[in-house]
Structure formats: structure tokens, C-alpha cells
Structure 1
Amino acid sequence: MAGAGVKAAVEWLASAAPDPDACRWEWERDPRGIALLPAGRRWDVLILPGELGHPTLDVLTRLVDRPGPVLSDFGEARMGFFVPPGTAARWVGTGVRGAGQGTWIVVPYPGREAAGAVRWLIPPDGSGALNDVMLLELAMHEAAAGRAGRAGRGEN
């Protein structure tokens, strides 16, 4: 992602902050390139364990041309899928955590190489596009079924 796409993504993400100007100022000067942003205003985040998140993202990329934003952290142990606000409060799913109203997440600066443990797998494009919850759930079911089938055959 370059130029105008990065600027649009930064503006969209910063718009979730209580003070977008201060957020951008600090974010652009932080050598780690991270910001702490509130969930629940522009987006919620569904957090999946990496062993489910990766196959889910694989399925999702087969269903849509470009999924919404997706983060990965700590050696890809967890993946965060950005979804519409309010999703986390209504989500019921084993092993999936939701970050919604009242929670904050670490967000790396788009378009910059990650200096910390959190990085974009699919960066935001600045349009406000999010992951479709129904397609994400379908992708999770297909990914889980595929994992269960491989485990039943003794594969990893």
C-alpha cells in the first residue's frame, strides 16, 4: 500500500481515536509505529487463535476479492478480523474473543514495516470496508471443518 492509500487508511483508523489529530501526531512519531485505538466506534475486532485464523483467512480470500482489515500478533498466535461495530457484543463462538465498545487494541501504522509484534495481514484501505460477519462466520466453519477432517486423518 502506498501514498494516498496509506493516508486514507491512517485517516480512517485515527478517526476512531478520541483525538484524531493527537493520535496521528503520536502514531507517526512513535518509533514502534503503533497506536492504542478504541474498538466499538468505527469497528469491532473478532480475535481468533492463529491455528483457526490462518485457514479462516485462506477461505475468506477465496470468497471475496479483498477481505477487510486483519491483524496478526505475537508470532501469529492470534489474528484480529475487523468487523462492524456491535458485532463483539452479539458474537457467540467458542475460542473467539471480541473487542468492542469499552476495549482498546494495539494497531500498527499502515504501510510501514512492523517494528513490534503486531502487523497487518490485510491493511485497511481507508474506505471503511470491514469483514462481512456472515462470510467470516462461514469461513470459520469451513476452516474448522477442514482442520477437524485433517485431525481425524492424523494430519496437522
Structure 2
Amino acid sequence: MSDTYAARAWLAAADPDPAHAELWLTYTGVALMPLGTNWSAVRVQERQGLRVASLNGPAIHDGPARAVYFLVPTEADWPGGMGELLGGPSCWLGVPAPERVEPPGIYWLTPPDGSGLLVDPVALLAALCEDGADR
């Protein structure tokens, strides 16, 4: 199984209707996915997110919104102040297909590999704090 196939299956599995999500990923390159079920997301300002995007785990760049989204575990504890934790029944995120790794539009800075690996929120917070101290 290729990483792209596994990643697509992993992404689609987060949707209440995985077949529907797969269709959107295939035909539009983006699917609207619920947050707080299989993962949550931390949204940070574009400049800071791009500077710390080398962390392990999936990260999405949304150039039009000037934001970077890091996919984190649903049980992540986030202190606020350094980005915003998004999750819960009313939160959805436009998620690009795993092969979408460059603009235009939203794309993966680090695509998922299908293994379920998420960004460690402790490492993300440390990187953001360190980056803020450097500014």
C-alpha cells in the first residue's frame, strides 16, 4: 500500500461518510473534515507556522487565510495565546488530498503518511515559544 493511498484512507476515515470524503479528495483535491473526532487542529499565524513546520506530523498551509494548521491528538491540552486549538462537533477544516504539496490553494507542508502520526502538541508549543523568543 502506498503512503498516498494509506494517507487518503486515513483522512477519509475521519469523515462520517468516508466514501463521500474520498470523492471530494479525488475530484476537488480538498474535503471538509470534522475536527475533534480523529484529530484536532492548532491554527497559528502563517509566518510563525511556516517557521516551525519542520515538526513531525501533518501540517497544512492555507495561504489565502494566512494560517498553518497542525493536526494534533483530540485530547491535546492547549494553553492558548500561541495559536488556537480547533475541535469539537461544530469545527470543520478544509483538508487537501495528501498528494497536494504545493500551491495554489491549501496544501500540505507535511502530508500525513497514513500511520496516524499527529503533531506532538508539547513539541509544537515548545517550538512556537522558542520561535517567539527569537523574534
- Shared fold (TM-score, shorter chain, > 0.5): yes
Q: 4, 29, 32: which is aligned to 1:6? A: 4
| Unmatched runs of 5 consecutive residues or more in structure 2 | none
Question: 1:107 corresponds to which letter in structure 2?
Answer: V
**CA-CA distance at 1:141 after TM superposition:** 0.9
Q: Give 2:60's aligned residue.
A: 71
Give the number of the structure whose residues are more often helix, by fraction: 1
State the alpha-carbon separation in 1 of the partners of residues 63 and 42 from structure 2. Answer: 16
**CA-CA distance at 1:22 after TM superposition:** 1.8
Q: Give 1:128's aligned residue.
A: 116
TM-score by length of 2: 0.89
Q: Give 1:83's aligned residue.
A: 72
Could you say which structure has the larger radius of gyration?
Answer: 1
- The answer to whether residue 117 in structure 2 is matched with residue 119 in structure 1 is no
The size of the alignment, in residue pairs, is: 134
State the alpha-carbon separation in 2 of the partners of residues 143 and 113 from structure 1. Answer: 24
Q: Give 2:96's aligned residue.
A: 108
Q: Secondary structure at the match of 1:57?
A: coil
Change beyond 3 A, Cα 1:116–1:38:
farther
Q: Give 1:152's aligned residue.
A: none
TM-score by length of 1: 0.78
Q: Does the Cα contact within 8 Å between 2:30 and 2:97 map onto a contact in 1?
A: yes
State the alpha-carbon separation in 2 of the partners of residues 69 and 94 from structure 1. Answer: 21
Q: CA RMSD in A?
A: 1.9
Q: Give 2:132's aligned residue.
A: 144
Q: Give 1:38's aligned residue.
A: 34
Q: Does the Cα contact within 8 Å between 1:47 and 1:78 map onto a contact in 2?
A: yes
Q: Give 1:96's aligned residue.
A: 83
Q: Give 2:47's aligned residue.
A: 51
